[in-house]
A and B are shown apart, each in its own frame.
Chain A
Amino acid sequence: MARIGVFVCHCGENIGATVDCARVAEACRKIPGVAHSVDYKYMCSDPGQTLIREAIAQNKLTGVVVAACSPRMHEPTFRRVCSESGLNPYLCEMANLREHCSWVHEKSDVTTDKAIDLVAMLVEKVKRNKPLHPIKVPVTKTALVLGGGISGIQAALDIANAGHKVILVERDPSIGGHMSQLSETFPTLDCSQCILTPRMVEVAQHPNITLYTYSELESLDGFIGNFKTRIRKKARSLDEKLCTGCGLCTTKCPNKKIPSEFNTGLGMRTAIYVPFPQAVPNKPVIDREHCTYYTKGRCRVCEKVCPTQAIRFDQEDQIVEHEVGAVVVATGFTVKETDFFPEYGYGKYKDVINGLQFERILSASGPTLGEVKRPSDGRVPETVVFIACAGSRDPAKGIEYCSKICCMYTAKHAMLYKHKVHHGQAYVFYMDIRAAGKMYDEFTRRAIEEDHVQYIRGRVSRIYERNGKLIVQGADTLLNAMPVEIEADLVVLATAGVANEGAEALAQKLHVSYDSHKFFVEAHPKLRPVETNTAGVFLAGACQSPKDIPESVGQASGTAAKVAALFSMDELTREPVVAVVNRTAPPLYSTCVGCFLCQSACPYQAIEREEIKNRNGQVVKTIAKVNPGLCQGCGTCVAFCRSKSIDLQGYTHEQVYAEVMELLS
């Protein structure tokens, strides 16, 4: 027989002035199964808690209902009180007499009647509560970091320096990401390579980091602390152990006219190549799409010249498997190409380029060795027009958001151009200058005031070619939308930062959600910015939304701290509010019939298949099984299961049924 204790709190005047608490306590005393019912001024105070503790001991209570404020406020408090008194904390429920009753209704008998109903409902629930125990799951203290850009590098180094193993996976042949392509960085104008490459080397040499470049995530299964991952190591077509990185093969390769990805198509590379001189690892790959041996069946020059016989034409992709406890997604972003803009020539004008291409032109290691020369004829442009918000903040283009980095890098571009071409003229068309950040506004002001970059507030409606010049037609909205026409030699579009191609497929592999622009979604926009809704999967950098370097690094370190905190525990403790598939005596074993329609209803992939075997080891039935490590306790499967074979601990069929029946009795 249940022995329930009811504790009605006045919350000072908050409940007591509106609800007749004494009458509530008295009414509850008459409910069958209630062994003790009292009211008190402040239940959450020390004397209040003591009152509950003593009542549990004296009356041998089997359950407790605290009728006070919202359970979202004090449920942990009162569950702890129960726990301290030797009562399982999950045998405690709260009736919400404050937020849902006294604060929203006038003082009256009706309000007190409602309070009684609410308590009686919870009494019926708590009679059916079962002791629950927190779920413990072990933690594999290895992190998987996806993406070897600055975010991935920072996260990997921070986690590795905290003493944990890291597996860093990069899709391209080298780590470094977009940052390695940049010339100089705002607002300090220090050289991107100079600050990045030491970090890249540190990654390669770190004893705690295993690096897989030219590799991609194949699959991720499991749950927080216990993921299993498969990584596809794409065939580099060489034996990395033998290769010394001497580079002879890349100089001898006869196939030299392949547009270089690293140089955004502005330079050429060979078929066997290292993307850039500082690449980590400094080992080439053979681009099988362009290599003459793979396309025509002959050549093999690289094989002949290789001093260590490292070339392996027959190498195949390799799948490696690892167990990891956490995943950091730092897969970055990309920028729109110029062909996205019909009004700016659909990408057909060679001298209309995007910001990333201009970075390569400015870069000392770029195709022009840092001299500003335009792509079409190699001449130094005398007039350069920069167009900010190319695509961004433009609902008509399907990109409503601000790409955030363009205002700053456009100012930087204009500034660097002026530093290199002193007599040149730089114009910037902008919508607003968004330069919020430490030393950012000062930086853009410097571009305008010291380097005399001409900022024109307005949009460019059209670009066309005339006599070897690009005619840029726009408007100056600060001069009453006066039409502006500029004869430019080069136009740089600050094209929108967008999600990587394949972001959607990756999100699905990782079971994380993504927004309508395919950026990955954080668990909470303010309070959980680096977590995802899938426990154990974290975000860093521009895969979540466009970010500049300081922000990406900051977020990566934040993520690393989350991972380190996770790895500081040997076991994870989880709320036992999880779904459970019932088990019954043979020959039924469970009322589950294994239709598995619940599987797709589960937002967490927590429902697995369990094979029930008889004594001879034969499978006699396949039923659903909820993985308590993955289940978050939403109960969608429970309401969905036709045979009521799944139940949710803490919100069982019996509990909620009894609540509804009691409310209206």
Chain B
Amino acid sequence: MEALQKSAREALENHKAKVIIGYSEGSGGRMRPIFVQSPAEAEKLTWNDRCTQNLAVYIAKPEVQKLGKPALVAPLPVLRAVLQLASENQIKEGDLLVLALSDGRVTELSQFSEMEEFVAKTPTHLASKDQEAIERLEKMTPQERWQYWQSELTRCFKCYACRAACPMCYCSRCTVECNQPQWIPVPAHPLGNWEWHLMRAMHLAGRCVSCGACGDACPLDIPIHLLTMKVEADIHREFGSQAGMKVQSEHALSSFKVQDKENFII
């Protein structure tokens, strides 16, 4: 914690960054993002297991961009989101500084190559509770899975907090806002919810850094992050690629190998 505050203070004092985007204590035991612009404020920065929001979501926001070059407090998923955004041409080298967190240490990273090295050294497996949840679902019969997701997704009232929390959902016009044709029905009814969540997971295929921020953001605690995590895990297993590891990487679904598996095609 002190190391983080010290790094942040130095970054501001040495003019390496104009604003530190980090976590601070919010209300009701929840963490909230904080935008630290002066060295004195750095002491408000904190870091603990409750910091689940993916701060990379703020990088592209015009309000944040106005503040000047940011330094991002970055646990692994945030760092991977930064790399994935870079690979999708959303940020450029030098646009931001990263204060990477791991094992209580803080590492200042400015080059994408440094971030790639850092990520490559850190294990990227899913949290055990998510892994277990996915496995539990996989063991169910198709009917049970259908029932499970029907009951879960029917509760959704389409607040789109999941979309707002996801650093990869940066489109200026989401497909749900397309009305010619109306791909996804507007109302929060079972079909509209079903298609929205299935589409969201497909749109994150090969791009999801498995941070789980979408599920944490859901006010109804619908475990929608399991959908994107499952797709991502399958892609990693089948095609060997993982989102947010390298800037110059081929996106899993816009590349291919001739020998890709096809045992489901006759």
Contact = CB atoms under 8 A, between A and B. Distances in A.
A596 interface: yes
A595 B88 contact: yes
B251 interface: yes
Given A622-B89, A654-B180, A600 B171 contact: no
A584 to B, nearest CB: 8
B89 A594 contact: yes
Given A588-B172, A593-B171, A654-B181, A640 B254 contact: yes
B254 A600 contact: yes
A575 to B, nearest CB: 24
B172 A600 contact: no
Contacts of A642: 171, 175, 203
A334 to B, nearest CB: 25
A644 B170 contact: no
B89 A658 contact: no
A593 B172 contact: yes
Interface in A599-639: 599-601, 622
B250 interface: yes
Contacts of B203: 642
B88 A596 contact: yes
B88 A644 contact: no
A591 B181 CA distance: 15
Nearest to A621: B172
B243 to A, nearest CB: 11
B171 A597 contact: no
| Tier of interface size on chain B | 10 to 19
Interface residues of A, number: 21
Contacts of B183: 644, 653, 657
Nearest to A598: B254
A358 to B, nearest CB: 38
A643 B89 contact: no
Contact of B90 (A591, A595, A643): A595
- Which of A588, A595, A600, A657 has the most B CB atoms < 10 Å from its CB? A595
| Majority secondary structure of chain B interface residues (helix, strand, loop or mixed) | loop
A192 B170 CA distance: 66
Interface string B174-192: 1100101101000000000
B253 interface: yes
Given A640-B254, A653-B181, A654-B181, A597 B88 contact: yes
A599 B87 CA distance: 12
B173 interface: yes
B255 interface: yes
Nearest to B181: A657
Contacts of A653: 178, 180-181, 183
Contacts of A598: 254
Contacts of A594: 89-90
Contact of B89 (A591, A595, A654): A595
Contacts of A645: 173
A260 B171 CA distance: 61
Contacts of B178: 644, 653
B255 A593 contact: no
Interface of A: 588, 591, 593-601, 622, 640, 642-645, 653-654, 657-658
Interface of B: 88-90, 170-175, 178, 180-181, 183, 203, 250-251, 253-255
26 contacts: A588-B172, A588-B173, A591-B171, A591-B173, A594-B89, A596-B89, A597-B253, A597-B254, A600-B251, A600-B255, A601-B253, A601-B254, A601-B255, A642-B203, A643-B171, A644-B175, A644-B183, A645-B173, A653-B178, A653-B180, A653-B183, A654-B180, A654-B181, A657-B181, A657-B183, A658-B181
Given A588-B172, A598-B254, A653-B180, 7 more contacts: A591-B173, A593-B172, A640-B254, A643-B171, A644-B175, A653-B183, A654-B181
